Amino acid sequence: MNASETTGPQSGSSRQLLHLLREEPPKERADAARNRQKVLAAAAKLFREEGVEAVSMDAIAAEAGVGKGTLFRRFGDKSGLVAALLDDQERLLQGRIISGPPPLGPGAPAAERVVAFVDAYAAYLFENLDLLRVSETASPGARYRIGAYRFWHLHLAILLAEARPGCDADLVAHTLLAPLGAEHATAVLHEHEAERVGAALRDLANALVGSRP
């Protein structure tokens, strides 16, 4: 997504967020684009049927009908392939934050937007839990180096600074994102239903923005 793809008036915070969005990928040859879509479709199918951890890159290459070398050159490893699968959904959520309807998008009070973000991100997290877990744990600290994390963090920090003047918005944003990590969510969801976990996350967000520091 780039600035020309968003609609409606852009707030200052939206313009800041736009700077963090990745540039559109370079144009590909038609055959390369077809192979990429074949690989992503094959990976999505196998991950859905067998689980992310159980599927090897060899199996994905075979399912897609491409050479293993091609797969590794294009995506690096399984975490790179997972990142490519997550990319479209991340862009959709980012677009809703920048220019979608309130309260997730601009136009609602900052406190309401914080809670709306937590609700929307929790839904995205639960739907893509296995993929996000691979992406975020590919190496120590991987979650915090992902461009999307910087986007989510900046968005929350901007809103928290407005909703709770005087708070350490940068650190509080990290604190609110901590229980939205895939590793944490995986452990909690073994013991509690997703609806209960989502309600607890919403309560946490309301508590952070509903009281003064």
pLDDT in tens, 132-173: 999 999 889 999 988 899 999 999 999 999 999 999 999 999
CA–CA dist 124, 16 (Å, integer): 23
**Residue for token digits 């309807």?**
101
2: left (phi over 0), alpha (psi -120 to 50) or beta: beta
Q: The tokens of 125 are what?
A: 């997290």
φ, ψ (nearest 5 deg) of residue 7: -120, 160
pLDDT at 35: 85
Long-range contacts of 98-103 (CB under 8 A, 24+ apart): 98/1, 98/6, 98/10, 98/14, 98/17, 98/18, 99/6, 99/7, 99/8, 99/10, 99/14
163 touches 213 (CB < 8 A): no
Q: What is the mean pLDDT of residues 123-136?
A: 94
pLDDT at 88: 82
* Residue 4 confidence (pLDDT) above 70: no
pLDDT at 118: 98
| Closest among 97, 96, 92 to 159, alpha carbons compared | 97
* Peptide bond before residue 103 is cis, with ω within 30 degrees of 0: yes
**Residue for token digits 């609110």?**
176
CB atoms within 10 A of CB 30: 7
pLDDT at 138: 87
Q: Which of 13-17, 66-70, 74-78, 205-209 is modeled with the greatest confidence?
A: 205-209
* Residue 5 confidence (pLDDT) above 80: no
* Residue 6 confidence (pLDDT) above 70: no
Higher-scoring residue by pLDDT: 26, 19: 19
pLDDT at 9: 38
pLDDT at 26: 57
pLDDT at 70: 86
pLDDT at 28: 66
* Residue 22 confidence (pLDDT) above 80: no
pLDDT at 33: 78
